[in-house]
Amino acid sequence: MNPPSPNQTVLLATSEVALPGHPSRAKPPISSGVFGMLIFMVTEAMFFAGLISAYMVIRAGLAEWPPWGQPRLPVVATAFNTVVLLASGFLMAYSRSFFKQGELVQGRRWLGISILLGTFFLIFQGYEWVQLLKFGLTISSHIYGGLFYLLIGAHGFHVFAALAILIYIWKRLEVTNNSITPEGIFPFQLLWYFVVFVWPILYVLVYLT
Amino acid sequence: MSEAAAAIHTEDHAEHHEELSFLYKYILPVDHKMIAMQYMFTGLIMAVIGGYFAYVFRMQLAYPGESVPFFGIVGPGEYNMMVTNHGTIMIFWVAMPVLIAAFGNFLIPLMCGCDDMVFPRLNRLSYQIFLVSALVLILSFFVKGGGFGGAWTAYPPLSSVPEFSLTDWGASLWVLAVALEFVSFLLGGINFVTTAMNARAPGMKMLDIPIAVWFIVIAVILFMASVGPLIAGAVMLFMDQRIGTTFFLPSGGGDPLLWEHLFWFFGHPEVYVVLLPTMGIVADIITVFSRKKLFGYRTVLYTAFATGGLSFVVWAHHQFVAGIDPRMANVFVVTTVLISIPIAEMLFSYIATLYGGSIEYTTPMLWALSFLFAFLIGGVTGIYLGASALDVYFHDSYFVLAHFHYTFFPITIIGMFAAITFWFPKMFGRMMNETLGKIHFWGTFIPFNCIFLPLFFLGLAGQHRRIYNYDHFPDLATEELQDIRVFATASLVIMLIFQVIFLYNFFYSMFKGEKAPDNPWKANTLEWTVPSPPPHGNFKTLPTVYRGAYEYSVPGREMDYWPQNMPPDES
C-alpha cells in the first residue's frame, strides 16, 4: 500500500514545481496558500455577517434589550480579555516579522507566546460561561441567551480551531528539520488575525450596546 | 498507469510513478481526474434517486390514491418527503457535484495547463465530506418519521418544530447533510479558484482562459460569498430543532422571516452558481461545433461578472408574498428585471457565435443548442414572476414550478449531458455512439417540453404547488386539468425510459467504444493536446500558451483551428 507521492503530500501540489529545461510558471503575486486562505476568509466574513444580521434583526424585533430578568454580561472582565486577545494578535504579527527573515527560532518563541495569550482568552471565556450558566443564562432560557451563546460560541469555536492549527505548527517547528516554510505558516497566521479582528466587533455588539 | 505517464517526470521524482495501489488510485485518490470521476458517479447515482422520487410523486398526481408501480400507495408524508428531497437532491447533490465539482475538477487543471489542483489533499477531503453528506441525506429517509418533508426551502416554524414537521430526526439530518455538503464545496471551491488564478501554464493570460473555466471560477466565488449566511442559518435552525432555542420561532421572540432572508441570500446566487458552469460549457461547445470564434469573449465574461454582482441583490423576489415591505419589493423588482439584461446579452453573444458558422450537429452540439432554447423559455417566464404585481397571483403555483424547471432542467440535466458527451472521449479514451446519443437526445428533449409546457397552463389555471391530492379540491379536480396532469406524467415516464439508452451508451462506450484520438473535435483548448485519457500528471512538459481559446477559422490559415499551445510560426 503506497502512500500518495511525497510531492503531493505537502500543502502545494507539484504544479508549483517547474520541470527542468522548460519555461516555468510565472510566480503568482499572492502565494497559493495565502490566496486560498483569503477566499476562505471571505466565506467566514459572510458567515459572521449572517450571524450579526440575525442578531440585529431579532434584537430590533424585541421591545426591550437586554430583556428583564436575564443576567447581565461581564462587560469589564471581557474588556480585559479583549485586550489579551488583541495583544495575542499583535504578537502574532511580531512573530511573522521573524519568520519573514527566516529566523524560525525567534519566530517560534513569539508564536508560542501569542498562542498562550489566545489560550488564556479561550479559558477565560469558558470560565465566564460557567459563571453565566450558574446565574441562569442558558441557551434555551431566552432568545437573549441563545443569541449570546450562538455568536460568542461561534467565535470561540473559531479561536479553538485556529489555536489547534497554530499549536500543531508550533510543535512541528520544534525540530529544525521540517518541511514548514514561512510561507506555509502565514495563511494560518492570517486566520488568527481574522479571529482577533472579528472579536472587537462582537464585543461592542453583544456586550457594550 | 500508462507508460506515457511514467515517462513524464522521471528526472525529478522517480518514486512518484510506482503503480498506485487500488486503494490510493480509486478510493483515496489525490489525482484531480479521479476525484472528478468520484463526484460524477456519485452525482449520477443521486440523480437516479431524485428521478425516482419525481416519478413516484408525478404518478401520485396523475393517479391519486392508486398504487404506484415500483413503490406502492403514496401517503401524504411520503409525498412531501419526496418532493422536498427531489429538489434538494437535484440542486445540491446533482447540479453542484456534476457541473461544478466533477467538471471543475476535471477541466480546470487540464484547461489551465497544470498537473493537478493546487491543494490535492484538500480536494480529496472535499469529496470525502461530500460522500458523507450524501450518506447522511440517504440515512434521513429511513429514520423514524421518515425524511424531511418541509420543502427544500425549509421555512420555519414548519421545519424547526418536530410537532409541526412530523419528522423529528428527518429534518435535523436533512439540515446536517446540507451543511456538510456546503463544507465540502467550500474546500473544493478554494481549490478551484486558487488553481485557476495561480497555476496556469506559462503564457496564459487572464483573457486566454477558456470561458468554461472562467464561469466555474465565477460560480465558485458567488458560492463562497453567499453561503456564509446560510451556514449561519443552518446552525440556528439545527439549534432550534435540537436544543430548544427560538431563533425562528415568533413565540420565543424569534423571526421566521429571518430564515427566509438568510436562505434566499444564498438561494438566489445559487441559481447562478449552477447556471454559470453550464453557460461556460455551452460556450465552449458551440464555438467548437460552429468553427467560429466566440462572439465577444470579453462581453460574455463581463456579463458574467455583472450577473454575479446583481445576483446578490435580487433574493427578496422569492418573498413578495411573505410579508416584506412593499417598498422593498419594488426595489427587488427593479434588480430582478435588471439581472435579465446581462444574461440576455450572454445568450445573444452565443447566438451571434452560431450565426454564419459551419455548424456540425453532433450530440454535444444538440444538447448545447437545446440548452439555449430551453433556458430562454425559463428566463423569459422569469420576468413575469420578477414583477411583484404578477407574482402575487403566480406565487406558489405551477407556473413558478414550470418556470424554474425550465431553468434548472436545462442547467442541470441538459448541461450535464452536453458536458458528458463532449468530454467523454477525453475522460475515458473512447468515443460515445453518435446514433444512440441522438436518439437519447430527442427522447429526452421532446418529453421534457411535454412535461413542463403544460404545467405553465396548470399554473395559470390556479393550481397550487404543494398539494398531494387534487381530488380534495373540486375547482382543481376537473377532467381537463387532470388530463394535463396525466399527460405530463406520461411524458416523464417516457423521458425516464429513454435514460436507459444513455446508461447503455455510457457504459458500453466506456469499455467497448471506438478508441478516441487526442483531439476528436478539433478543439483549441489545452485538454485536447494530451492523450485520451490524460495520464497522471497530465502534461509531459508545461505547455506554453500563445493565444486565446477560440481561434477557429482564422483567415489565411490552412487549419481551421489553432491550438492554444501551438507556436505562432508553426501552422
pLDDT of residue B571: 62
pLDDT of residue B18: 54
Grade residue B15 by pLDDT with cuts at 50, 70 and 90.
Answer: very low
What number is the average pLDDT over the span B147-162? 92
Is B147 exposed, middle or buried (CB count within 10 Å of its CB: 0-12, 13-18, 19+)?
buried
What number is the average pLDDT over the span A74-98? 96
B55 in Cβ contact with B496 (< 8 Å): yes
pLDDT tops 60 at residue A130: yes
pLDDT of residue B287: 96
**What's the pLDDT tens digit per position in A136-160?**
899 988 899 999 999 999 999 999 9
The verdict on A111 touching B (C-beta cutoff 8 Å) is no
Interatomic CA distance for residues B172 and A2, integer angstroms: 39
Partner residues linked to B68 by β-bridges: B72
pLDDT of residue A181: 82
Contacts of B299 (CB under 8 A, 6+ apart): B345, B349
B143 in Cβ contact with B173 (< 8 Å): yes
CB spacing of A58 vs B254 below 8 angstroms = yes
pLDDT of residue A23: 61
What number is the average pLDDT over the span B276-304? 96
pLDDT tops 90 at residue A27: no
> Higher model confidence: residue A205 or residue A183?
A205
Residue ranges and CATH numbers for the domains of chain B are 1-29 (no CATH), 31-529 (1.20.210.10)
pLDDT tops 70 at residue A6: no
B222 in Cβ contact with B273 (< 8 Å): yes
Interatomic CA distance for residues B387 and B393, integer angstroms: 11
**What's the pLDDT tens digit per position in B102-119?**
999 999 999 999 888 999
Q: Which residues of B touch A22 (CB under 8 A)?
A: 541-542
The verdict on B195 touching A (C-beta cutoff 8 Å) is yes
Q: How high does pLDDT run on average in chain A?
A: 87
Query: Greatest CA span in chain B, whole angstroms?
Result: 78
pLDDT of residue B354: 96
pLDDT of residue B349: 96
B239 in Cβ contact with A150 (< 8 Å): yes
What number is the average pLDDT over the span A37-53? 96
Find the radius of gyration of the CA atoms of chain A: 21
Q: What is the DSSP letter of B160?
A: T
**What's the pLDDT tens digit per position in B442-494?**
999 999 999 999 999 999 999 999 999 999 898 899 999 999 999 999 999 99
3-state secondary structure of B104: helix
DSSP per residue, B246-277:
-TT-GGGT--HHHHHHHHHHHHHHHHHHHHHH
Grade residue A70 by pLDDT with cuts at 50, 70 and 90.
Answer: confident
Any idea which of A61-70, A95-104, A193-202, B8-17 has the lowest mean pLDDT?
B8-17
CB spacing of A13 vs B117 below 8 angstroms = yes
The CATH class of the A44-208 domain is: mainly alpha
Interatomic CA distance for residues B96 and B89, integer angstroms: 10
**What's the pLDDT tens digit per position in B125-144?**
999 999 999 999 999 999 99
What number is the average pLDDT over the span B66-72? 94
pLDDT tops 80 at residue B9: no
The verdict on A10 touching B (C-beta cutoff 8 Å) is no
Q: Which residues of A touch B231 (CB under 8 A)?
A: 47, 50
pLDDT tops 70 at residue B4: no
pLDDT of residue B5: 40
Q: How high does pLDDT run on average in chain B?
A: 92
Q: Which three cell numbers stand for residue B537?
A: 500528471
Closest by CA to B547, choosing from B199, B294, B207, is: B207
Contacts of B16 (CB under 8 A, 6+ apart): A5, A6, A7, B9
Q: Return the residue matching grid coordinates 452560431.
A: B354
Q: Which residues of A touch B254 (CB under 8 A)?
A: 58, 143
3-state secondary structure of B351: helix
Alpha helix (H) ranges present in B409-478? 415-428, 434-460
Grade residue B19 by pLDDT with cuts at 50, 70 and 90.
Answer: low
pTM value is: 0.92
pLDDT tops 90 at residue B208: yes
> Higher model confidence: residue B10 or residue B241?
B241
3-state secondary structure of B552: strand
pLDDT of residue A9: 32
Interatomic CA distance for residues B106 and B100, integer angstroms: 10
What number is the average pLDDT over the span B379-396? 92
> What percentage of chain B reaches a pLDDT higher than 90?
83
CB spacing of B229 vs A46 below 8 angstroms = yes
The verdict on A54 touching B (C-beta cutoff 8 Å) is yes
**What's the pLDDT tens digit per position in B516-548?**
999 999 999 999 999 999 988 888 888 889 999
pLDDT of residue A22: 54
Q: Which of residues 246-305 of B touch A (CB under 8 A)?
A: 246-247, 252-255, 258, 261-262, 265
SS (H, E, C) chain A: CCCCCHHHHCCCCHHHCCCCCCCCCCCCCCCHHHHHHHHHHHHHHHHHHHHHHHHHHHHHHCCCCCCCCCCCCCHHHHHHHHHHHHHHHHHHHHHHHHHHCCCHHHHHHHHHHHHHHHHHHHHHHHHHHHHHHHCCCCCCCCHHHHHHHHHHHHHHHHHHHHHHHHHHHHHHCCCCCCCCCHHHHHHHHHHHHHHHHHHHHHHHHHHHC
**What's the pLDDT tens digit per position in B172-207?**
999 999 999 999 999 999 999 999 999 898 889 999
Q: Return the residue matching grid coordinates 431524485.
A: B50
Q: Where do the domains of chain A lie?
A: 44-208
**What's the pLDDT tens digit per position in B409-431?**
999 999 999 999 999 999 999 99
Interatomic CA distance for residues B185 and B39, integer angstroms: 11
